[in-house]
Amino acid sequence: MSPAKKNKASLSAPIHNPTIAVYPGTFDPITNGHVDIIKRAMQMFDRIVIVIAINATKKPLFSIEERIEMIEQCFGSSNHRIEVKTTGGLIVDFAMENGACAIVRGLRAVSDFDYEFQLALMNRKLQRRVETVFLMTGFRWIYISSSIIKDAARHGGDVSGVVPAHVKTALQEKFS
């Protein structure tokens, strides 16, 4: 191939820029529903930045460090595609600062949609280059939330099967 043809061919070849998505939440603690959403998002994006959103109005059970450790333990060999960070600011700003093209949000029920839709519209107004991608939670996890799990664990309920085993252990330790 002549140098001119080679240069023309390389200019027309698509350049793959890794796609990055952020998945925000308090993850207090991470649940199997969260893990399901993250694994499915990994099929759509090259990298997922799990962002622990610091919300001054919430009183978390687990420290930031504990939540980061629990999240990282969930993904073992996939860790090269997953990063865990924190922010106290706007998620859409965080997404831009981290080169993300999308914010992943999980929906459990129709009741989640109204709030999530409003949030997505505001994020779109603030930054048009960041899309919101909604993923429906798997049917197995539709009824669970971190709050419900913490309440069950606080009262001695068995949370096996709704959180990873190491999270169940951490909950038992917190409430013993």
Annotated active-site positions, please? 34, 58, 108, 146
Nearest to 22 by CA among 73, 71, 86, 72: 86
Q: Which two structure tokens, joined as six digits, stand for 131? A: 């899309």
Task: For residue 34, give every residue at least 6 positions away whose Cβ sits within 8 Å of its Cβ, in sequence order, or none.
Answer: 25, 27, 106
Q: How far is CA 87 from the centre of its chain?
A: 13
From residue 137, alpha-carbon distances to 91, 108, 124, 134 in Å are 21, 5, 23, 9
